[in-house]
Amino acid sequence: MRQGFDFAGRTVLLTGATRGIGRALVDALGQRGATVLAVARDQGSVAKLVETSATVVDGLAVDLSDRDASAAIADWVGANHADTSVLINNAAVMSHGRLTDGSKEWRISISNEIDVNLIAPLVLSAELLPTLSRHPSAAIINVTSGLAIAPRRDAAVYCATKAGLRSFTRALRDQCREADLSIQVTEIVMTLVDTELTAPITIRKYPADRAAEDLLRGVERGLEEVWIEKAKALRVVHRLAPGLAYHAMRAR
């Protein structure tokens, strides 16, 4: 039987907290009575968020492309915020272009996207399991994308990282069940949202505040997968006619 999840009174570790969906989540979590530990790359932005938001009780500026970042975050949480019972892996980067152009600069961007979008949430989830498992109930929320289902040709690496995170989330959920841990592991299959990340994409985008609300409502319902806006339709199309879903995204 599916049980609901209540954010009230919880401490939530949120990556990518200063912009886009992350910033909208800060406000939405505050409205639910939660407090936030804000993690983002820019020191000034993190400090400003801590200063101006009553919801954010502490912040840490860290570059998730650094392979040691996730361990540093986990140590910070363990030393200062052992009451943390929710992890939201929201931070992501996206490079647009074609690998076929022969540019050697792709070596850097490929590594950066894999480190931020895939390795960081995998390692951070594993590092925080001891802290989360000490609570009567906890949650790990991983933000993937409809692009994990049907990729865009101009964002090949981003799509691959989100597909990897989707697979990891399913396996981690099974591991938590097998270990009898009271940790809800939820995947958020995100639609195209109006953020800096998607600025080069000119088609209509979903507002970040609505995406944040949809995300939290799905978790509150105890869902294992939360499909946001157009991702719901993509799910149906992909189930019935995968080729049509691939063609629709390829044509964008």
Indicate whether 1 belongs to any domain.
no
Query: Mind listing the pLDDT tens digit of every residue in the chain (252 residues)?
Result: 467 899 999 999 999 999 999 999 999 999 999 999 999 999 999 999 999 999 999 999 999 999 999 999 999 999 999 999 999 999 999 988 888 887 777 888 899 999 999 999 999 999 999 999 999 999 999 999 999 998 888 889 999 999 999 999 999 999 999 999 999 999 999 998 877 776 676 667 799 999 999 999 999 999 999 999 887 877 777 777 777 666 666 655
Selection from 25, 13, 10 nearest residue 72 by Cα: 13
Indicate whether 204 belongs to any domain.
yes
- Which range marks the domain in which residue 90 is found? 11-250
Q: What is the DSSP letter of 119?
A: I
Indicate whether 5 belongs to any domain.
no
Number of domains in the chain: 1
Catalytic residues, which ones? 158
CATH code of the domain containing 20: 3.40.50.720
Indicate whether 3 belongs to any domain.
no
Q: Is the Cβ–Cβ distance between 37 and 12 less than 8 Å?
A: yes
Indicate whether 160 belongs to any domain.
yes
